[in-house]
Amino acid sequence: MSNVNHWRVARPFGDDVWGYGRYGDDQLLPLSFDDMQHDTAGATAAVLSLGLPDRSVVVLTSTVSDVGYFHPLQSAAKDMGLLVCNADASTMDVDRVEMFIRLLDVAAVIGVNDALVDGIVERGHDPKSFFSSVPMVIASGRAKERMAATGVDALRFELVGPVLALSCRHRNLHFDGRQWDMVADNGTLLVSSRARRALPFSHFDTRRGGTVSNGVCPCGRRDPVVEIEPTAEVRGPS
């Protein structure tokens, strides 16, 4: 049988570049294979903290340019035996998300953003009805606020510079404390990388206001908790 192992092409690994995502104001974010491996370990803790049942179906919505943030979540979920469905976090892919929710016993929809909520409304759905059968919805700040106004009680995620912060089931917004350090400087969150990464960060100004704490969270995740003020929407095509 022919497969990639027969091609004798040296597969990249370690410090080699896995790919280039996006962060901040449309900056290129180089990610190494090591970065992705470490981020997947962090994402494993994040997924565990959600308390999803074994073999759950998870719909992961993101944009391709934000795959650097979300691919580790997908890898972690897959490694944990969860079944992941992908859709674009954009207005045009609302029908696909709806189809997954209608046909499958979906335990969580992760990655809902403003564009997706726009699409849900444009297609004549009410967000509360749209997500009524889904026990857990995780949305970015503005999307979460908009859906709350219609009665959807979503958890939250935020892209903070190069860092993905994700709520646990106890509604605390954690980030991977092994990879990242986050401090509040005059109320603004600054991000630095703690581990070796393809692109090191030092006091990167996220232009997000908030505070960081290291208290014990009842979810069991030991990563720091960040409180972020409501702000502009996560990017993505509409």
Partner 1 sequence: MSHNAELSTRMLDEKIESMDRGDLRSYQENRLLESLAYVERHSPLFAQVWGSAGLRAADISSLTEFEARIPFVDKDTVRAYRTTYGDPLGGLRRMADASVLSSTTGTTGDPVVLPVGHGEGVGLARDWWEIGVRPGDAVAFMLFTFRGPAWLTPHALGASCVLFDHHPSEFDRWCRASLELEPTLLYLLSGPLIMAMAHMEQTGVLPYALAEVFSSYKGVVIGGDHLGIQARHDLERWGGEPFLHTAVGDVGSATECREHDGLHASEDTVFIEILDPEGSSPVPDGEVGELVATNLVPQSGNPLVRYRSEDLVRVSTAPCRCGRTGMRLWPVGRKGDEVVIHGHSILPMDIWRAVESVPESAAGYFQLIRTGREMDVLKVRVGHNATPGGRSPTSVREDLIGAIEASVGIAPEIDLVENEVLLRLGPPHKIPRVASS
Tokens of 232: 């502009």
In the complex with partner 1, the residue whose CB is nearer, 86 or 150, is: 86
Length of the chain: 238
In the complex with partner 1, the residue whose CB is nearer, 78 or 203, is: 78
Query: Residue 97 class from Cβ within 10 Å (0-12 exposed, 13-18 middle, 19+ buried)?
Result: buried
In the complex with partner 1, the residue whose CB is nearer, 142 or 194, is: 142
- Rounded Cα distance between 107 and 128, Å, is 16
In the complex with partner 1, the residue whose CB is nearer, 26 or 185, is: 26
Among 64, 70, 73, 131, residue whose Cα is nearest residue 92:
64
Which residues form the interface with partner 1 (CB under 8 A)? 1-4, 6-12, 16-22, 26, 28, 55, 57, 60, 63-65, 67-68, 71, 74, 78, 83-88, 90, 92-93, 95-96, 99-100, 103-105, 236-237
Cα separation values, 208 from 87, 116, 195, Å: 27, 22, 22
Query: To the nearest whole angstrom, how small is the minimum distance from the Cβ of residue 59 to partner 1?
Result: 9
Among 117, 48, 108, 120, residue whose Cα is nearest residue 84:
108
Query: To the nearest whole angstrom, how small is the minimum distance from the Cβ of residue 114 to partner 1?
Result: 14
In the complex with partner 1, the residue whose CB is nearer, 119 or 141, is: 119
Give the strand pairing for 225-228 and 163-167. Answer: unpaired
Phi and psi at residue 84, in whole multiples of 5°?
-110, 130
Query: To the nearest whole angstrom, how small is the minimum distance from the Cβ of residue 231 to partner 1?
Result: 20
Query: To the nearest whole angstrom, how small is the minimum distance from the Cβ of residue 226 to partner 1?
Result: 25
Query: To the nearest whole angstrom, how small is the minimum distance from the Cβ of residue 95 to partner 1?
Result: 6
